[in-house]
C-alpha cells in the first residue's frame, strides 16, 4: 500500500468504521483532513453553516442508523461551536467521533491565536478525548476513540494539529480490525431467577419502558401478556413501545398523560426497562423496583432498587419469560386500562372545542393534522420547547416512524440540524422538523444547508412569536413573562428568499392544504404556521394531586392538554378486555 499522511489514514480508518460523512466547517487547522476527504470516494464532506449543526446532524444520523458518524471543527471557535451538539449526541448515547483540529503543535500552551485545549474542553461531553501529538499515535488513538464511541454509545473526540495531520503516517492501516456492532448482553442466571421469583410473588406488576426497549417490542408484549401488567413509557420509549400495545397506560414525566403514573404507584412491583428516566419525583418510593439496563452505571441512579439487572432488555426478557408463572388475574391491568381511557377522555373533551376555527391557530390542531398527513415511515425531529409536547401527544407511533429530539440534553434549535443528518441518511424518506420559532431562528443559518444540498426536509414552524415554554414556566412560577416574546417574522418569506419553498398560514382552515403542499413539495420546504402563544391554559388545569405530587417537588409544571389519536388507541384497548 502506498504511503499515507496521517490525515489520509484518519479518513481511511473512519471509512473502515462505516462513516459516510464528515459534517463540519473548514478551517486551516483542518485543511489536511478536509483535503483527504475531498480525495476520498467513500466519505463526503457536509458543509454546514455552524459547527453546532454539524454535531446535531451527526448525532441524528447516528441515532437513526445505529452506526458511527463523524463531525469536525477547526481550532478554537470551531471547537466551542461543536460543543452543544456534542453534548446532545453524548447524552442521547449516539456514537459520534468528533475531530477537533488543533492550533500548530509548536504553539500549544502559549495562549496562541484561537487556542483552546480540546482534550480538556470535551472531557465532559465524551467517553474519550485525547490529543494526537505524534504521527506514531495513529491509527491506535483514533481506533481507541472509535471503540469508545461505539462500545460505550456516545461521543469520542480526537484532537490533532494540522501540522501533525499533514505528516507521513508511519504505519499502514490495511489490516485494522474493529468492532462496530454491539453484542447482546444477557444477565446471569441468578439474576434472572431472582427477577422471576419477585414477579411470581407480586400481584400487581407494572412495566415502564425507555429507549432501551428498542427492538424488544414483542418481548415486552409477551411479558405483559404473561403477567397481566400495564405498560407505561418514558418519552424516549414511546416510539418503541406504544404501538400495537394492548397494555398501554401512557407516558409518565413532565409531559406525561394517562395512567402511567398511577400504574407505577399502585403496583407492588415496578420493572424499569431500559430507561434512564430522570425525574425521581415521578417514581414511587414504596413499591419494589427492579431496573434492567445494559449500562450498569445507570442502575439505581434514579431510585432505590430491590434488584439491579445488567443486561439488554430483549435478552433479559427472553431469558425471563419462560421462567415466570403465567398470571390469570387481570384486575389490576383492566383497572389501569380503564383509568387511562378515562384520563384521556377528559382532556380530549377540553381540547376539541372550536379548534378548527380558532385564530390564532391552535398548535395542537396543527400537530394533529401533521400526524394524519405525515408518511407512515416519516422521521420527525422535534425542537425543545412546546414542540416536545405536541410530538409526545400527537404523533402516533407505529413502529416505522421515528421521533428524535434533544430529549436528554434539552437544547433548543436541535430539530432542523438533526433533520439534515436524518435526510442525508435517506433522501427518499420523509423528514419533518417540528421547529419552534425560537429554536428555528437560533440556528437558522443552516436552513441554507438544506437548500445547498437540496435536502427535501419539511420544516414546520410552530410560530407563536414567543419562547413559549419558558413563558409558561414563568406564569406557573407566578412571574410576569419577561423577555419571552419576539416580533412577528415571516419565516416563509425568508425560506423563499433562500431558494426553498415557503408557505405561511394564519387561518386554521388552510392548515391541512398547506401541510399537504409542503409535504408533497419535492425539495426543501418550510411551513410557517402562526400559532397561539397561549395554547395551554395550564395552571387552572393542574389538579391538587399533581400540585402536591409533582409540581412542588420538581418545581416544574406538569403539562396537560390534548392527546390526539391516543384516545382511539385507549378506547380500542378497552374493547379488547376479555368479557367473562
The residue (of 344 and 387) whose beta carbon lies closer to ligand TPP is 387
Q: What residue ranges in 409-499 does DSSP mark as E strands?
A: 431-436, 458-463
Q: What is the torsional sign of CA 37, 41, 47, 48?
A: negative
Which part of the chain contacts Mg ion (CB under 5 A), choosing from 135-143, 236-244, 442-450, 458-466?
Answer: 458-466
The residue (of 352 and 485) whose beta carbon lies closer to ligand TPP is 485
Q: Rule CB under 6 A: say whether 433 interacts with ligand TPP.
A: no
User: What secondary structure, in 3-state letters, does 189-235 show?
Assistant: HHHHHHHHHHHHHCCCEEEEECHHHCCCHHHHHHHHHHHCCCEEECH
Q: Rule CB under 6 A: say whether 253 interacts with ligand TPP.
A: no
The residue (of 158 and 495) whose beta carbon lies closer to ligand TPP is 495
Question: CA–CA separation, 571 vs 342, rounded Å?
Answer: 9
The residue (of 379 and 387) whose beta carbon lies closer to ligand TPP is 387
The answer to whether residues 208 and 223 touch, using CB atoms and an 8 Å cutoff, is no
List, in order, residues 6 or more apart from 137 with CB less than 8 Å away. Answer: none
The residue (of 33 and 386) whose beta carbon lies closer to ligand TPP is 386
State how beta strands 257-258 and 248-251 pair: antiparallel
Q: Which 462-501 positions form the footprint of Mg ion (CB under 5 A)?
A: 464, 466, 468
Beta-ladder partners of 505: 529
H or E segment and range at residue 469:
helix 468-476
Question: CA–CA separation, 5 vs 79, rounded Å?
Answer: 23
Q: Rule CB under 6 A: say whether 532 interacts with ligand TPP.
A: no
Q: Rule CB under 6 A: say whether 466 interacts with ligand TPP.
A: yes
Which part of the chain contacts ligand TPP (CB under 6 A), choosing from 75-83, 242-250, 447-455, 461-469?
Answer: 461-469
Q: Which 405-444 positions form the footprint of Mg ion (CB under 5 A)?
A: 436-438
Q: Rule CB under 6 A: say whether 561 interacts with ligand TPP.
A: no
Q: What residue ranges in 468-580 does DSSP mark as E strands?
A: 501-505, 525-530
Q: Which does 469 bind (CB under 5 to 8 A by kind): Mg ion, ligand TPP, none?
A: ligand TPP
Query: What Å distances lie between residue 121 and 86, 111, 412, CA to CA?
Result: 11, 15, 21
Q: Rule CB under 6 A: say whether 245 interacts with ligand TPP.
A: no
Q: Which does 551 bind (CB under 5 to 8 A by kind): ligand TPP, Mg ion, none?
A: none
Q: Which of 384, 418, 423, 560 binds ligand TPP (CB under 6 A)?
A: 384
Considering the complex, what minimum distance in angstroms separates the CB of residue 289 from Mg ion? 37
Q: Which does 71 bind (CB under 5 to 8 A by kind): Mg ion, ligand TPP, none?
A: none
Question: CA–CA separation, 221 vs 199, rounded Å?
Answer: 16
Considering the complex, what minimum distance in angstroms separates the CB of residue 309 from ligand TPP? 33
Q: Rule CB under 6 A: say whether 467 interacts with ligand TPP.
A: yes
Which part of the chain contacts ligand TPP (CB under 6 A), choosing from 9-17, 210-218, 314-322, 379-387?
Answer: 379-387
Q: Rule CB under 6 A: say whether 387 interacts with ligand TPP.
A: yes
Residue with C-alpha cell 400495545?
245
Q: Which of 462, 491, 557, 567 binds ligand TPP (CB under 6 A)?
A: 462
Beta-ladder partners of 510: none
Which residue stretches of 304-446 are H helix? 313-320, 331-351, 363-373, 386-394, 415-425, 437-442
Q: Which does 387 bind (CB under 5 to 8 A by kind): Mg ion, ligand TPP, none?
A: ligand TPP
The residue (of 45 and 394) whose beta carbon lies closer to ligand TPP is 394
Q: Rule CB under 6 A: say whether 59 interacts with ligand TPP.
A: no
Q: Name the CA radius of gyration of the chain, rounded.
A: 25
Shortest CA distance to 263 belongs to which of 382, 343, 189? 343
Considering the complex, what minimum distance in angstroms separates the CB of residue 63 from ligand TPP? 19
Q: Rule CB under 5 A: say whether 360 interacts with Mg ion.
A: no
Q: Which of 206, 464, 560, 573 binds ligand TPP (CB under 6 A)?
A: 464
The answer to whether residues 101 and 162 touch, using CB atoms and an 8 Å cutoff, is yes
Query: Which positions lie near Mg ion, rule CB under 5 A?
Result: 436-438, 464, 466, 468
Query: Which positions lie near ligand TPP, rule CB under 6 A?
Result: 383-387, 410-412, 436-439, 462, 464, 466-470
Amino acid at each position: 500500500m502506498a504511503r499515507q499522511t496521517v490525515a489520509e489514514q484518519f479518513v481511511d480508518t473512519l471509512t473502515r468504521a462505516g462513516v459516510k460523512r464528515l459534517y463540519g466547517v473548514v478551517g486551516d487547522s483542518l485543511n489536511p483532513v478536509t483535503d483527504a476527504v475531498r480525495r476520498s470516494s467513500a466519505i463526503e464532506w457536509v458543509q454546514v453553516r455552524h459547527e453546532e449543526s454539524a454535531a446535531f446532524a451527526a448525532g441524528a444520523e447516528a441515532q437513526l442508523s445505529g452506526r458511527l458518524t463523524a463531525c469536525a471543527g477547526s481550532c478554537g471557535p470551531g471547537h466551542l461551536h461543536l460543543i452543544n451538539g456534542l453534548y446532545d449526541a453524548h447524552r442521547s448515547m449516539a456514537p459520534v467521533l468528533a475531530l477537533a483540529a488543533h492550533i500548530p503543535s509548536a504553539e500549544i500552551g502559549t495562549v496562541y491565536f484561537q487556542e483552546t485545549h480540546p482534550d480538556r474542553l470535551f472531557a465532559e461531553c465524551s467517553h474519550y478525548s485525547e490529543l494526537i501529538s505524534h504521527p506514531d499515535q495513529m491509527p491506535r488513538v483514533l481506533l481507541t476513540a472509535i471503540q469508545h464511541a461505539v462500545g460505550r454509545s456516545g461521543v469520542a473526540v480526537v484532537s490533532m494539529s494540522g501540522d501533525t495531520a499533514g505528516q507521513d503516517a508511519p504505519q499502514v492501516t490495511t489490516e485494522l480490525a474493529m468492532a462496530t456492532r454491539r453484542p447482546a448482553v444477557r444477565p446471569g442466571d441468578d439474576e434472572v431467577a431472582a427477577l422471576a421469583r419477585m414477579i411470581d410473588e407480586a400481584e400487581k406488576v407494572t412495566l415502564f419502558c425507555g429507549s432501551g426497549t428498542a427492538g424488544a417490542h414483542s418481548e415486552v408484549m409477551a411479558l405483559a401478556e404473561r403477567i397481566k401488567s400495564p405498560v407505561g413509557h418514558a418519552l424516549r420509549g414511546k416510539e418503541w413501545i406504544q404501538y400495537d400495545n394492548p397494555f398501554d397506560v401512557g407516558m409518565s414525566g413532565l409531559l406525561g398523560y394517562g395512567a402511567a403514573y398511577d400504574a407505577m404507584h399502585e403496583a407492588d412491583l415496578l420493572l424499569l426497562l431500559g430507561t434512564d428516566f430522570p425525574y425521581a419525583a415521578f417514581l414511587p418510593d414504596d413499591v419494589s423496583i427492579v431496573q434492567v439496563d445494559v449500562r450498569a452505571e445507570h442502575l439505581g441512579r434514579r431510585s432505590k432498587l430491590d434488584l439491579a439487572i445488567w443486561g439488554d432488555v430483549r435478552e433479559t426478557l427472553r431469558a425471563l419469560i419462560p421462567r415466570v408463572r403465567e398470571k390469570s388475574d387481570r384486575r389490576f391491568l383492566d383497572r389501569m386500562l380503564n383509568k387511562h381511557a378515562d384520563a384521556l377522555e377528559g382532556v380530549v373533551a377540553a381540547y376539541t372545542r372550536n379548534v378548527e376555527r380558532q385564530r390564532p391557530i391552535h398548535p395542537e390542531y396543527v400537530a394533529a393534522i401533521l400526524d394524519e398527513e405525515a408518511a407512515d415511515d416519516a422521521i420527525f425531529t422535534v425542537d425543545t420547547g412546546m414542540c416536545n409536547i405536541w410530538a409526545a401527544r400527537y404523533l402516533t407511533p407505529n413502529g416505522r416512524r421515528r421521533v428524535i429530539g434533544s430529549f436528554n440534553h434539552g437544547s433548543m434549535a436541535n430539530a432542523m440540524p438533526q433533520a439534515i443528518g436524518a435526510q442525508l441518511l435517506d433522501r427518499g424518506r420523509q423528514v419533518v422538523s417540528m421547529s419552534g420559532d425560537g429554536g428555528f431562528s437560533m440556528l437558522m443559518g443552516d436552513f441554507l444547508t438544506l437548500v445547498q444540498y437540496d435536502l427535501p426536509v419539511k420544516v414546520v414552524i410552530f410560530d407563536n412569536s414567543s419562547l413559549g415554554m419558558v413563558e409558561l414556566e414563568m406564569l406557573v412560577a407566578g412571574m410576569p413573562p419577561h423577555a419571552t416574546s419576539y416580533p412577528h417574522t415571516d419565516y416563509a418569506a425568508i425560506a423563499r428568499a433562500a431558494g426553498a419553498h415557503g408557505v405561511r398560514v394564519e387561518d386554521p382552515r388552510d392548515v391541512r392544504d398547506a401541510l399537504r403542499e409542503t409535504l408533497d413539495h419535492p425539495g426543501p420546504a418550510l411551513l410557517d404556521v402562526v400559532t397561539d402563544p397561549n395554547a395551554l391554559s395550564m395552571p387552572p388545569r393542574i389538579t391538587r394531586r399533581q400540585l402536591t405530587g409533582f409540581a412542588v417537588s420538581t418545581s416544574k409544571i406538569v403539562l396537560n392538554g390534548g392527546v390526539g389519536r391516543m384516545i382511539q388507541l385507549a378506547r380500542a384497548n378497552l374493547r379488547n378486555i376479555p368479557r367473562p
